Structure 1
């Protein structure tokens, strides 16, 4: 299939059919034999169009003079993205492919409409953003982040903070590797990956992290297949730093899939054990596969609804990486910004508290409970942490340390511009001794 037609297919599946971007893209790449260059172009068009959707809509609107079907608008969106943002792609190639796709899907008249809109678009200057007088609305269009999210950030981080968060989430994310320190050092893994054709740098913000700078698919390396590293953002690695696993601790990762935090903890507990539990049964196989790939033992992986499951033992430490709005990972999952709505937050808060209030029963006195999310929303983060503490007199906040942020305290909202990582929240609680 033509790479742009394939990109349209992916874009529709993600935006209209609510598919997960990474899954849709990976599935279509497996089903279609594309050159390395076309794989790159396909991925760029899909992720780029989603990430700039509100901006593209603003630019395109003056050129829409007639009623269009949804797929026609989607075709125009991916075409406008290429025309504006991809300097190496000639406009005529974009327009020709768009017209051919429109003709195939809708006939000659549809093709003529698409052709007329795109040719008019390339003849005009891009509509200036300064036509939008309201600062927050202009920031919303410029960064393609819905206004309700920016309003929340402005309330809690100020206008400057909201702008810095928004702009940082429009940049390309780093790919971080978590070194399996049970098996290899960072320096040794760097040398191994260099030999396999990949350039990586030692991260200055976490002792287990490497940053990938160049190279093809790093998951196809022998180093990955042999379990020497995992893909994980630095911000979520700090969860295990906050946990401080003991060598013989029994640990529960209550919302585990895809397993990054629980397996990281297992790498740090040579004489302990970790239960990898998740509500979704189809993800349990993934947890087992990852543990096997990393050559880790002393774990159990099983399905468990963390709001009601009867765990079979008491734990020294528990991780609750709770279901959340995911606003901190927009760079990796750009569709999240359009799928979440303000009314969803209260439902998520209730679920997060329900999980915490259930799993706390399985923590030993003196034990540590970590609550974390990959979002930037005060109601889901600080509000949940304080509500849990207020309603549970046998729990208290407990300090942890993040050297890279020069931080010591019981909870921390990590903002994406601070270390060029995902947005993340971590709180540490300790259960009082009897």
Structure 2
């Protein structure tokens, strides 16, 4: 049995710090943080308060890992040679000590040493005890003393240097600092109102009656910011009156300018947030339909499930198909509108998925650019003359955004950029009519949108 599969001791199940260490071990070994955390919470025997504490530690360590490793390095000769659980134990101790003001240092040290004693042998307990006391006695290394600007910002905000360098190249140092700082703030809980069955005012009143705090979105008129509860557990969600969707992502569908009788292609649709948003504009009685594609069967089922919950299943066809092979199924068909929510690095989602910052590389983005262009090239031929194609990603890298559109237009003179539909007056549209929503602007995800029109055959 491997170390990551070892059974969890009963004493750990009642200890939020010990369960956080277990979770972090598995995430560091490749597990998804949200899925692993949920699985560990189900195995634990913790109060709601302790679950919140455990969650705070897990996400805090993931977000600040490069900073925590920088602080640990002077005190442990070969940190990577530590048992994985011991390394994560140090990470949790440093995070609590440096970032959780309400947790006394003595409690952090005592609990950390206690976990070392129970999970390890006496040598590990002595090593952990000595290291913590040395940190306390000598102080942690000052990040401000790092002379290299890129390395200092990388350590300070726990973002790999390649991301920092790319942001500086795209946006300059001042904006890069603001973006980097914003990525470690807590993500907002946002929802889109389903206008097929309700109105914004009605669902706001219902959520408030159920104890939620609700404020209208600053980004999209159908968006809500919801706090003081888990909105996916609300009756409004179960009834299909709202769905979870980031505010930035809500801006793609309106730019299609959909009419009720149109045929729309959603080229990379799972889990269906934008598919179901497109469907709200369509009328099945007028043969309005959205063809929603994804390459994974289980994700196509998610699209269908979401369409059913949101009462738009009668205008959604979800199917397993690689958008690059769209002509194999739709050889003799064209579409009035096409949406390409392209596969991307996802760096605009770092608040929600903090671990991906350590998993991605510049080479990944370069490879994704090829896939993005392949999808655009394939679906563009299926768009009617006069039709609109909206391309978007949840990343802020120009390599996957501006550069993709520039390369596409260089080989498609029958397309042009046209104005995206942004209902609120937001400072997000550049001189080329491209939409960049940055994480430091509204507290929403980083997002890119380009609206294209086919002008000739």
Which band: TM-score by shorter chain?
A: over 0.9
Is the contact made by 1:401 and 1:407 (CA closer than 8 Å) also made in structure 2?
Answer: no
Alpha-carbon deviation of 1:146?
0.8
Partner of 1:308: 325
Is the contact made by 2:428 and 2:436 (CA closer than 8 Å) also made in structure 1?
Answer: no
Query: Match of 1:371, SS?
Result: strand
> Residues 31 and 285 of structure 1: is their aligned pair in 2 closer, same or farther, counting only changes over 3 Å?
farther
Using the TM superposition, name which of 399-408 and 363-372 deviates more. Answer: 399-408
Query: Match of 1:236, SS?
Result: helix
Is the contact made by 2:153 and 2:177 (CA closer than 8 Å) also made in structure 1?
Answer: yes
> Residues 166 and 406 of structure 1: is their aligned pair in 2 closer, same or farther, counting only changes over 3 Å?
closer
> Residues 360 and 131 of structure 1: is their aligned pair in 2 closer, same or farther, counting only changes over 3 Å?
same
Provide the rounded CA distance (Å) in 1 between the counterparts of 2:161 and 2:185: 19
From 300, 315, 318, give the equivalent of 1:298.
315
Provide the rounded CA distance (Å) in 2 between the counterparts of 1:55 and 1:347: 29
Q: How many residues end up aligned between the 2 structures?
A: 432
Using the TM superposition, name which of 401-410 and 18-27 deviates more. Answer: 401-410
Alpha-carbon deviation of 1:33?
4.0
Q: Aligned runs of 1:124-143 on 2, under 5 Å? A: 124-143=138-157
Using the TM superposition, name which of 189-198 and 411-420 deviates more. Answer: 411-420
Query: Match of 2:400, SS?
Result: coil
1:424 aligns to 2:447 (yes or no):
yes
Provide the rounded CA distance (Å) in 1 between the counterparts of 2:149 and 2:115: 38
Partner of 1:78: 92
Alpha-carbon deviation of 1:124?
4.2
Partner of 1:349: 369
5+ long unaligned stretches in structure 1: none
From 376, 386, 389, give the equivalent of 2:409.
389
Q: Aligned runs of 1:14-163 on 2, under 5 Å? A: 14-15=27-28, 17-65=29-77, 67-163=81-177
What CA deviation, in whole Å up to 9, does each residue of 1:252-298 have, x standing for no partner? 11111111111111122234211221111111221111111111121
Partner of 2:210: 196
Partner of 2:252: 239
Is the contact made by 1:206 and 1:404 (CA closer than 8 Å) also made in structure 2?
Answer: no
Alpha-carbon deviation of 1:325?
0.9
Q: Aligned runs of 1:274-423 on 2, under 5 Å? A: 274-296=290-312, 297-309=314-326, 310-312=328-330, 313-402=333-422, 403-406=424-427, 410-423=433-446
1:5 aligns to 2:57 (yes or no):
no
Provide the rounded CA distance (Å) in 1 between the counterparts of 2:380 and 2:202: 40
Query: Match of 1:9, SS?
Result: helix
What CA deviation, in whole Å up to 9, does each residue of 1:90-118 have, x standing for no partner? 33333333233333433121122112212
TM-score by length of 2: 0.90
What CA deviation, in whole Å up to 9, does each residue of 1:170-207 have, x standing for no partner? 21121111111111111111110111111111123210
Q: Alpha carbon RMSD of aligned pairs, Å? A: 1.7
1:224 aligns to 2:237 (yes or no):
yes
Using the TM superposition, name which of 161-170 and 240-249 deviates more. Answer: 240-249
Query: Match of 1:75, SS?
Result: helix
Query: Match of 1:400, SS?
Result: coil
Provide the rounded CA distance (Å) in 2 between the counterparts of 1:32 and 1:112: 28
Partner of 2:6: none
Provide the rounded CA distance (Å) in 2 between the counterparts of 1:122 and 1:231: 44
Is the contact made by 2:415 and 2:456 (CA closer than 8 Å) also made in structure 1?
Answer: no
Provide the rounded CA distance (Å) in 2 between the counterparts of 1:250 and 1:27: 41
Alpha-carbon deviation of 1:353?
0.7
Using the TM superposition, name which of 253-262 and 405-414 deviates more. Answer: 405-414
Provide the rounded CA distance (Å) in 2 between the counterparts of 1:407 and 1:143: 24
Partner of 2:9: none
5+ long unaligned stretches in structure 2: 1-12
Alpha-carbon deviation of 1:18?
1.8
Is the contact made by 1:394 and 1:432 (CA closer than 8 Å) also made in structure 2?
Answer: yes
Query: Match of 2:399, SS?
Result: coil
What CA deviation, in whole Å up to 9, does each residue of 1:213-259 have, x standing for no partner? 3x222211111110111111111111112222222221111111111
